[in-house]
Amino acid sequence: NSRKIEKLQKLGAWRVIDASNGSIYEQISDACDIGVDHAIDSVGGESGELLARMLKPEGTFVSYGLLSGIPNDWRKLHNVYHVSPQLFALRLWNERHSVSEYRNRFSQVIKLVESGRMVINAPEKVYDFEDFYDALKHYEQPGLNGKILLNFA
């Protein structure tokens, strides 16, 4: 919706591609007809492939989610679209890095937030675990502006 697009633009986005406004391919083509250098995909499947098509050859395609439930075809992304696909999963990153490296990165993120260069959205609402069903009902409502969190303390 327009409120979310305005919010993204205030955070620095110069163009927001919204799948509900028609073809992603056409929207990206209108914004940048020579292709883009980098793409970040949280959906996978057909949407991920459409996004990969919009990359310049050797562009970087980072996948960090699977909202569609359909994985990206990594071989196809590389062989057909000539992009450099990369998977980001925090759990896997943590396995390859020391505690001090993790703390250093986290410290960098905190500095970005403190300086205002990175904005972290507030949760929509925090529910006590005992109110789990109320949290689910809230989550199912349209128009959420943040995550629904459960407090286990």
Using DSSP's 3-state secondary structure scheme, residue 105 falls into helix
Q: Does residue 13 belong to any structural domain of this protein?
A: yes
- Strands 148-151 and 36-41 come out as unpaired
Render pLDDT for 16-56 as a digit per residue (tens, 0 to 9): 877 778 887 788 778 877 788 888 898 899 989 988 988 99
Q: Which domain holds residue 16?
A: 1-88
Residues across the chain:
153
* Total domain count, the chain: 1
Q: Could you tell me if residue 29 is inside a domain?
A: yes
CATH number of the domain where residue 79 is located: 3.40.50.720
Q: What is the pTM assigned to this prediction?
A: 0.57
Tell whether 98 is covered by a domain.
no
Separation of alpha carbons 70 and 67, rounded Å: 8
The reply to whether 82 falls in a domain is yes
